[in-house]
Amino acid sequence: MVLSIGSQFDSVSSPRTEQYANGRPGFPALIEGTIPLPGLALLRSKSYLAQLYAGRHLSARQIARLTEVSRSTALAALSRCGIPKNGHNCTHPGQLPFGYDYQNYSLVKNQAEQGVIRLMQQGRAGGLSLRQIAGQLNQRLIPGKSSGTWQANTVRLILARA
């Protein structure tokens, strides 16, 4: 699609709207020269936000990705529309600490991860260094919270919290 802006300017091509209306796949452009609505315009609709957040159970981060805005903008839109953060006015704790899961709006102990913490404590009491403990966990293929490899600093932080 080519938009002509005055006689003194060259035409401007927008590849994003070339085949689709509002940049959404599956909606052919009916009017040539349409400009896609930014995600911010979508966040002005309380019913749209409620449907995404409460109906489809999407997080603020997922809504931000879907509407192509920042997470803080999505959170501000939820707040402005009076939509509680989750159905019970409770907030998610953010990054979950190793050894815990989030259920029914509270932290509960994850028994498998608590066993790994006990292994770390036993190794430390046995005189192993943090690097040796991390090496043993990697050798045993014990997954971390994000399924990465264990580092000495991660072991140190977990033991400090335990």
| Mean pLDDT, 10 residues at a time, the chain of 162 residues | 42 43 52 59 77 75 81 84 64 73 79 93 95 95 83 94 85
Q: What is the pLDDT of residue 31?
A: 56
* pTM of the model as a whole: 0.47
Q: Are residues 20 and 46 in the same domain?
A: no
Q: What is the pLDDT of residue 121?
A: 95
Q: What is the pLDDT of residue 88?
A: 54
Give the residue from 51, 59, 70, 53 showing the smallest Cα distance to 92. 59
Give the residue from 65, 46, 66 showing the smallest Cα distance to 54. 46
Q: What is the pLDDT of residue 116?
A: 94
Q: What is the pLDDT of residue 90?
A: 58
Q: Are residues 143 and 117 in the same domain?
A: yes
Q: Are residues 157 and 129 in the same domain?
A: yes
Residue 84, CB-side half-sphere exposure with 13 Å CA sphere: 7
Domain count, the chain: 3
Q: Are residues 83 and 58 in the same domain?
A: yes
Q: Are residues 73 and 63 in the same domain?
A: yes
Q: Are residues 43 and 79 in the same domain?
A: yes
Domain containing 12 equals 1-36
Q: Are residues 29 and 66 in the same domain?
A: no
Q: Are residues 112 and 141 in the same domain?
A: yes
Q: What is the pLDDT of residue 21?
A: 47
Q: What is the pLDDT of residue 52?
A: 78
Q: What is the pLDDT of residue 132?
A: 96
Q: Are residues 107 and 122 in the same domain?
A: yes
Q: What is the pLDDT of residue 118?
A: 95
Q: Are residues 132 and 142 in the same domain?
A: yes
Q: Are residues 84 and 68 in the same domain?
A: yes
Q: Are residues 45 and 30 in the same domain?
A: no
